[in-house]
Structure 1
């Protein structure tokens, strides 16, 4: 059995547990069953385990130079140093999507392990929302963007990373930026839970203050690292070139910055309740939109390295998010 076989099986099992966890969380909320909610919490930890296993399997495939795996053959070579070989994990479409799923699973597990201060009625709906997002990512990974697909005949060497990505910036900028994108999912899940339960007072805001600060800090770090990287790569426009991909990364940061300030108004004066919900939903929606923009190929960018045909799936997912959030808001 190859590492790739282990990774693919882990993705399948992870998707199954993600669907189970989301369903049990909603059922526990409707039946007010602490046992079902506790089962959902454990389910999140299982999902995180399988995503860690799948990610470890892909990294092991890279480090062992298993060019029988199509993704490994396309994004690494024998001449690459081990650190760039490891960074190739998120250097393409399939790997970056797996990294996203991994970060979401890790953030979800952290939420479950630190949820003691969270308003109990919100917890199952937060879990269900996070697992709905995780299920979408895993289904896309399994069906149309599988990083563990094997070639009929393994080549002697791989293609390697794009020369522009063979830079120290590759080791820090993409993982921070991708992590920042996905970190907005937790505040978004809280906003959905608050709208479903009608708990629109300041309690849900206090529950996500640290999450929002962490998301904003991660995204800020990713943007700064990206500006530093672009400054010493010829043709990337210096610190900021108003490139479409750069702008797409900036938009959720702007809405998150506005949210950090407006929460203080709601907590102190009880105002801007609706505005805060809009900002949280907008931050996550813009993060998904940025992914759609890059993957769909509808724009031309010097920073586009992972164009694919999965943009349509993210467009559908984006529409579902907007329609679902709008429906909750109007209800």
Structure 2
């Protein structure tokens, strides 16, 4: 009952999305506000409809309805309830429904805003959002249906949505269970954050296309979508960071980033989205780079769909990717149509998007921001080529040749280093015109402090040239950011007679965009410290130990004590756990317990490393 109900409601949501797109276009052509309003209400209707369908699927997941093929594939009786709920986005069909659910929520939310001043944009925003939503709903309904059930037909079990002739419903005793890699608390938050980031970027793209279609050459569409863009960037950033933490716990990489193809697929729209966040400030402040901003948001939208395509088509091997599926060509066609249409609209409006002022100084803030953008795009090109190279090599040679982390690290390290330097310099440059003298006066104190700290690191910590360059840039960015907070708070303290902390808090509240950017820059610099540690100071060793034998690495001594194996019947898992004592310079620090978990339902292993983490280092076994 719930399967048919959920499918039927989803079909109604699909019809509402299609109707909304058609009604919006007809409303514009016939100048009918009634039709446009009808399209808006159809867009609003999609959210409750898809929500009800999603709740139906969650009910089936939680209550062990294994006659539903999706429930059988991603849950089992031994799984806790929270994992059964998160299994919604743990499989191909469910994740597409989750994508559609978020898309309908955001599209409905954006149509609720007051449209009096921008009424000409409304129908085209509805068209773009409705067509994107309809595409994903179409995939769910006709290709990756999470509501199909198992039927026994002539002694064979087949999956169909509706009963076939001479068929009886087949109900397995238990499900296969979720992939062990996904049975982690990170499963609760990491995929939703990525999806939220992906879907949020559709809204700025929809406004950009509406501006192109209606001929609006001003920056109104940017101002309307500023918060959407910020939230999209934050969600995607959190998703990437949480994914790194998840990988550190369960994938056994010994690091947070393995340059996996699907990781990179999520990273690429982050690159263009970050470039877009910086570039739109130039259009708002100086009326420049209007063409470039359109290109960036088109690229971001296309890369969002492209990343979803890579994950779900099965064309690339990845621990994150789903199995091969027939939806790959459909994604490719959709990307091609939307990208070609976007470029056509951009070319059509190209003359109307001329810059209002000229860039007069290579040291001005807008020039440095543009250089920042070019670096982001350069990193994007490296990532895109690395991801696509296996497909290109297979096309021309018949063999799929992959590129590994060394390729990405060598190609992107100089680009990331230059970006780090610009994080410190660009915000201190003036809009319009700047000189070496004015820029030098702004940065010399921070540069001197960074140089002194680097000398200290050279004397007492490391002689590695690359590490010293990295630390120099990191300290430079941190000092400049802190200097700006200090300078602004001190000025306000003198002018307003406030104490320092009150002045600082009100300073940040008054200009959240500027000082929020500094906070992000400091956060990126702190992340860079961890990246340097992984890339330049990580030590690895391997060995086979008998009981009570030891292994030495970087001042640590690890002693293998014992191995135990037992079944947990309630969880359906066999645990095999080692006990390893850890010493440093003869001092006992404690024990670590690396283990292998074998899940009987999915018949798969998962390795859980033992990890001792301190501010100085991590010992990872």
**Which stretch of structure 1 is more off in the superposition, 147-156 or 291-300?**
291-300
Q: How does 1:1-20 map to 2 (within 5 A)?
A: 2-20=1-19
Counterpart residue number, 1:181 = 198
Deviation, 1:237, is: 5.6
Paired with 1:316 and 1:218, the residues of 2 have a C-alpha distance of 27
Provide runs of 4+ in structure 1 moved above 4 Å: none
Paired with 1:69 and 1:118, the residues of 2 have a C-alpha distance of 48
Unaligned runs of 5+ in 1: none
CA contact 1:118–1:207 (8 Å) conserved in 2: no
Compute the TM-score of the two structures, normalised by the length of structure 2: 0.52
Q: May I ask how many residue pairs the two structures share in their alignment?
A: 330
Over 3 Å counting, the alpha-carbon distance change for 1:254 and 1:133 in structure 2 is same
Counterpart residue number, 2:51 = 52
Instruction: Provide Cα deviations, 1:116-170, integer angstroms capped at 9, x if missing partner.
Output: 4762111110001100111111111111111100111110110100111111111
Picking from 329, 343, 353, the partner of 1:312 is 329
Instruction: Provide Cα deviations, 1:174-195, integer angstroms capped at 9, x if missing partner.
Output: 1111221111111111111111
CA contact 2:75–2:177 (8 Å) conserved in 1: yes
Over 3 Å counting, the alpha-carbon distance change for 1:91 and 1:273 in structure 2 is same
Higher helix share: 1
Structure with bigger gyration radius: 2
CA contact 2:43–2:108 (8 Å) conserved in 1: yes
Paired with 1:54 and 1:165, the residues of 2 have a C-alpha distance of 24
Picking from 189, 193, 199, the partner of 2:216 is 199
Paired with 1:92 and 1:312, the residues of 2 have a C-alpha distance of 19
Counterpart residue number, 1:256 = 273
CA contact 1:117–1:207 (8 Å) conserved in 2: no
Where 2:10 maps in the other structure, the secondary structure is helix
Counterpart residue number, 2:245 = 228
Instruction: Provide Cα deviations, 1:257-313, integer angstroms capped at 9, x if missing partner.
Output: 111111110011110001001111111100111111122222222222454231111
Instruction: Provide Cα deviations, 1:82-111, integer angstroms capped at 9, x if missing partner.
Output: 000000011100000000010000001110
Paired with 2:116 and 2:204, the residues of 1 have a C-alpha distance of 15
Paired with 2:115 and 2:246, the residues of 1 have a C-alpha distance of 40
**Which stretch of structure 1 is more off in the superposition, 255-264 or 295-304?**
295-304
1:89 partnered with 2:106? no
Over 3 Å counting, the alpha-carbon distance change for 1:56 and 1:306 in structure 2 is farther
Q: Select the structure with the greater relative contact order (CA < 8 A; seq sep ≥ 6).
A: 1
Q: How does 1:129-144 map to 2 (within 5 A)?
A: 129-144=128-143
Instruction: Provide Cα deviations, 1:197-254, integer angstroms capped at 9, x if missing partner.
Output: 1112111111111111111111111111101111111334621111111111111011
1:69 partnered with 2:68? yes
Paired with 1:236 and 1:105, the residues of 2 have a C-alpha distance of 36
- Supply the RMSD in Å over aligned alpha carbons: 1.3
Where 2:255 maps in the other structure, the secondary structure is coil
Counterpart residue number, 2:300 = 283
Over 3 Å counting, the alpha-carbon distance change for 1:72 and 1:114 in structure 2 is same
CA contact 1:104–1:134 (8 Å) conserved in 2: yes
CA contact 1:10–1:53 (8 Å) conserved in 2: yes
CA contact 2:314–2:323 (8 Å) conserved in 1: no
**Which stretch of structure 1 is more off in the superposition, 28-37 or 206-215?**
28-37
Counterpart residue number, 1:298 = 315
Paired with 2:304 and 2:323, the residues of 1 have a C-alpha distance of 16
Paired with 2:50 and 2:72, the residues of 1 have a C-alpha distance of 22
Counterpart residue number, 2:178 = 161
CA contact 1:295–1:311 (8 Å) conserved in 2: yes
Where 1:51 maps in the other structure, the secondary structure is helix
Higher strand share: 2
Paired with 2:142 and 2:186, the residues of 1 have a C-alpha distance of 31
Where 1:151 maps in the other structure, the secondary structure is strand
Counterpart residue number, 2:445 = none
Paired with 1:85 and 1:210, the residues of 2 have a C-alpha distance of 33
**Which stretch of structure 1 is more off in the superposition, 90-99 or 232-241?**
232-241
Instruction: Provide Cα deviations, 1:22-77, integer angstroms capped at 9, x if missing partner.
Output: 11111122233222211111111111111101101100111111111000011001
1:32 partnered with 2:49? no
CA contact 1:92–1:306 (8 Å) conserved in 2: no
Counterpart residue number, 1:112 = 111
CA contact 1:26–1:128 (8 Å) conserved in 2: yes
Paired with 1:219 and 1:306, the residues of 2 have a C-alpha distance of 24
CA contact 1:232–1:238 (8 Å) conserved in 2: no
CA contact 1:119–1:207 (8 Å) conserved in 2: no
Deviation, 1:115, is: 4.1
